[in-house]
Amino acid sequence: MIRARGVGRTFGEKRVLARVDLDVGAGDLLLVTGPNGAGKTTLLRLLAGLIVPTSGELDVAVDRARIGFLAHEPLVYRELTPLENLELYGRLYRVRERRERIGMLFERFGLWDARHEQTAALSRGMLQRLALCRTLLHDSELLLFDEPFTALDAAGAELLLDELAADAARAIVVASHEPGRLGDRPTSRLSLAPA
Amino acid sequence: MSTSLRNNGAALLSLLAAALLVAGFALAFFWAPEAQGDPAFRIFYLHVPVALTAYAAFGWGGWKALRLLWTREARYDLESYVAIHMGVIFGLLALVTGSVWARYTWGVWWTWDERQLVLFLVLFLFYSAYFMLRFSTPAGPRRARTSAVYALFGVALIPVSFLAIRLAERYIHPVVLTRDPKIENEMLVSFFVCLAGMLLLAAALYLVELAGKRADARLRELRELLA
Amino acid sequence: MTAYLSDVVALTRKDLLVELRSRDTVPAMLLFVVGGLVVFHFALADDSSRLASAGMLWIALLFTALLALVRSFVAERDEAVIDGLLLAPCDRSAIWLGKTLSVFAFLALAELVALPAFALFYEPVTWELVAGVALANIGIAAVGTLLGAMAAAARARELLLPLLFMPLAIPLIVGGVGATLAEDPARYLGFLALYDLIFAILSWASFEYVVTE
């Protein structure tokens, strides 16, 4: 599903990622670790297709519509309500039975009562849960999580771990500087060092 | 292309350019007749070739920009940038020579009546903004693509601006200052020789600057590998 | 095709809703354009021609538009929310079209106030002026949205956008002022339409190259 050979990325003069090789297939859960500044976020953005590598070859054989990305930022509009945000994404991703799916996600992640509030008023933890809903709204073959445990309380973390359960049809990549959280779910690991 | 061939190419072009320019100006001053009613007409042999070369440079930059967007190959970014740089230099020269010509023909350093001059002013503004754009954006594929799109907008702007300038004359004020020299055949021949020389000069400068910038980039790459 | 249009509708709705809730841009535009018209009164000499006051109106509209354009990418830029749109399978040009339509709407709102103010302060508004304003709006929104995306990636974006936009705005000014003043406004309106056609298509086609990393 994903094939990377010697992938690197520079921003202007600064090299952020250097010579990364990896292979990810359906059913895999890749854990990417490393300290701050090692390039974890950059790697995930490369996999998501938001940026292109400046060296090496990267092949992600998944259509954009089937990639879910929990990014560093929640990627939701502060002036809109959680419901309006997911309605927008639902439309853009052509999610079938949009209303039901949004309702189900909100119930599961405890956002149902807050669905008509202004997103700007949500706490950081709730914001992260909303971002999770956004990520899981559409059917994905590839899920990318960038530091997903940030700001989540114990209950939220539990819900997230449920989502990371093995699924033979999906590939998951998680970047985290707290690898212990995932236990032995990861099928492979990649450790990045600052370039 | 090997370094020596590239260097030789530029050297050859500059020699040819120099020869043509010298020949062209000689023809203009000694062979072609004086223009009636325009004492400073001889500046025409410098001003118009410079102006046309600037247009050619902008067009070349636009073509390279199109190639960049089409193929996504990074080398076109530098080629487009250098071409536009040439265009701005020659454009500035066109503004200066045009201004001098206006001074000698009508006694003013600037006139809004001269359409070509006004067009060059607009284009100069536009392509100066191109450099601001490049300066403020961090280097990378995005800057390359953004610059390319802007360069293409510039090419589209040339005819549209010219039309706008013509239309503006109709409500701003009637054109007062004109020049209407009789063009003889000898003048045309001299002009074309000058034009050819100017184009070759621009091409030579383009190759030299391109080679220089490529060397800079290689040096940076090598430094990075060693680091 | 209908998927494309439904994307555009969803995106335009989003921009309009965001503006409605935050009320950042449109009130400032209204105040700015009227304020501009007042300031210009003090800048015009006593025997100024119609040309001067028509020109002033167009300058006021242009700068008000720049206000809207600088703000149009703020939400997305501040927290990288545009990444969410770029991840989605929708066409990038749909993002451009959605933004352009919403910017056009904001401009129209500002003009609903500016034109009556102009009629009150200076001189009556003719249908040619209104037509000119409507056509120029399209060009401003179309090109401005594209340039806004370009500037969003740069430092000093609030400075860069006006710089990039000014030369491209000159034909619009010519078309607009000409439509207001000349004996044959149709020629200038036609020119505005030509500008809109060329540059809207260019902007629509090149947006994807400018907004992605």
pLDDT tens for each residue of B189-226:
888 888 988 999 999 999 999 999 999 988 888 887 77
Chain C contact partners (≥3 CB pairs within 8 A): A, B
- Helices (H), strands (E): how many in chain C? 9, 0
The predicted pLDDT at position B181 comes to 67
Q: Which candidate from A50, A75, A94 shows the least CB-CB separation from C81?
A: A75
pLDDT (average), residues B170-179? 71
pLDDT (average), residues B28-38? 70
- C198 to chain A, any CB pair closer than 8 A? The answer is no
Give the residue from chain B lying closest to C189, CA to CA. B167
The predicted pLDDT at position B4 comes to 61
The predicted pLDDT at position C54 comes to 84
Q: By CB neighbour count within 10 A (0-12 exposed, 13-18 middle, 19+ buried), where does A187 fall? A: middle
Sole residue written with tokens 């001269």: B114
- C153 to chain A, any CB pair closer than 8 A? The answer is no
Cβ-based contacts under 8 A for chains B and C: 97
Q: Which candidate from A52, A76, A79 shows the least CB-CB separation from C22?
A: A79
pTM of structure: 0.90
Indicate left, alpha or beta for A183 from its phi (over 0: left) and psi (-120 to 50: alpha).
left
C87, C102, C213: best to mutate for the A interface, most A CBs within 10 A = C87
Both structure tokens of B127: 């392509």
Interface contact C7-A52, CB threshold 8 A: no
Interface of B with C in 11-40 (CB under 8 A): none
**Which residue, among A1, A17, A43, A58, has the nearest Cα to A146 in the 3D structure?**
A43
**Integer Cα distance of A166 and A28 in angstroms:** 8
Give the residue from chain C lying closest to A118, CA to CA. C21
The DSSP string of A153-189 is -HHHHHHHHHHTS--TT-EEEEE-S-GGGGTT--SEE
Other C-beta atoms lying within 10 Å of the C-beta of residue C44: 14
**Which 3 state secondary structure label does DSSP give C156?**
coil
**Integer Cα distance of C130 and A136 in angstroms:** 48
**Integer Cα distance of B105 and B213 in angstroms:** 41
**Do residues B81 and B147 make contact, with C-beta atoms less than 8 angstroms apart?**
yes
**Which residue, among B187, B205, B204, has the nearest Cα to B24 in the 3D structure?**
B187
Q: Provide CB contacts within 8 A for B164, sequence distance 6+.
A: C170, C171, C174, C175, C191
User: Strand pairing of A55-60 and A2-11?
Assistant: antiparallel
Interface contact C206-B149, CB threshold 8 A: yes
Length of chain C: 213
**Which residue, among C189, C140, C50, C175, has the nearest Cα to B166 in the 3D structure?**
C175
CA distance C93 to chain B (A): 14
Q: Which residues of B172-210 are buried (b: 16+ CB within 10 A; e: fewer)?
A: beeeeeebeeeeeeebeebbebbbbbbbbbbbbbbbbbb
Length of chain A: 195
The predicted pLDDT at position B210 comes to 92
Give the residue from chain A lying closest to C21, CA to CA. A79
pLDDT in tens, B106-150: 888 888 888 889 999 999 999 999 999 999 998 888 999 999 999
Residues forming a β-bridge with A10: A15
The predicted pLDDT at position C108 comes to 94
CA distance A116 to chain C (A): 13
Which residues on chain A are in Cβ contact (under 8 Å) with C102? none
Give the residue from chain C lying closest to B167, CA to CA. C174
Give the residue from chain C lying closest to A54, CA to CA. C213
Q: What distance lies between CA B22 and its chain's CA centroid?
A: 20
**Integer Cα distance of B41 and B33 in angstroms:** 11
State the complex-level ipTM.
0.90
**Do residues B127 and B87 make contact, with C-beta atoms less than 8 angstroms apart?**
yes
Specify the amino acid at residue B31: W
CA–CA–CA angle B218, B84, B191 (5° rounding): 125
**Integer Cα distance of C171 and A81 in angstroms:** 41
Q: What percent of chain A has pLDDT over 90?
A: 39
Interface contact A13-B139, CB threshold 8 A: yes
Both structure tokens of C154: 């740069």
CA distance C160 to chain B (A): 7
Interface contact C178-B160, CB threshold 8 A: no
Digit-by-digit pLDDT tens for chain A (195 residues) are: 888 888 888 887 788 888 888 898 888 889 999 888 888 999 999 999 998 888 888 999 888 999 999 998 899 998 899 999 999 999 999 999 999 999 999 999 999 998 899 998 999 899 999 999 999 999 899 999 999 988 888 888 888 888 887 677 889 999 988 888 888 888 888 888 876
**Integer Cα distance of C97 and B90 in angstroms:** 37
**Under-70 pLDDT residues of chain C:** 46-48, 50, 75-79
Reported as type and span, the H/E element at residue B196 is: helix B185-226
Instruction: Look at residue B59 and tell me whether its pLDDT is greater than 80.
Output: yes
**Integer Cα distance of A178 and A82 in angstroms:** 28
Specify the amino acid at residue C52: A
Both structure tokens of A104: 């189900």
What are the φ/ψ torsions at residue B156 (nearest 5 degrees)?
-65, -30
Which residues on chain C are in Cβ contact (under 8 Å) with A50? 83, 86-87, 212-213
The predicted pLDDT at position A166 comes to 64
**Do residues A82 and A31 make contact, with C-beta atoms less than 8 angstroms apart?**
no
Residues forming a β-bridge with B39: none
The predicted pLDDT at position B174 comes to 66
Both structure tokens of C94: 């749909």
Both structure tokens of C174: 């010519």
**Which 3 state secondary structure label does DSSP give A72?**
coil
Sole residue written with tokens 């209950």: A155
The side-by-side arrangement of strands in the sheet containing A14-24 is A14-24, A2-11, A55-60
**Which residue, among B40, B46, B49, has the nearest Cα to B25 in the 3D structure?**
B46
**Integer Cα distance of B49 and B44 in angstroms:** 8
CA distance A93 to chain C (A): 6
C58, C129, C170, C183: best to mutate for the B interface, most B CBs within 10 A = C170
**Integer Cα distance of A49 and C212 in angstroms:** 10
Interface contact A50-C87, CB threshold 8 A: yes
Look at B32 and B209; give whichever has higher pLDDT: B209
User: Strand pairing of A29-33 and A2-11?
Assistant: unpaired
Interface contact A89-C88, CB threshold 8 A: yes
Q: Provide CB contacts within 8 A for A34, sequence distance 6+.
A: A40, A177, A191, A192, A193, A194
- B160 to chain C, any CB pair closer than 8 A? The answer is yes
Give the residue from chain A lying closest to C5, CA to CA. A92
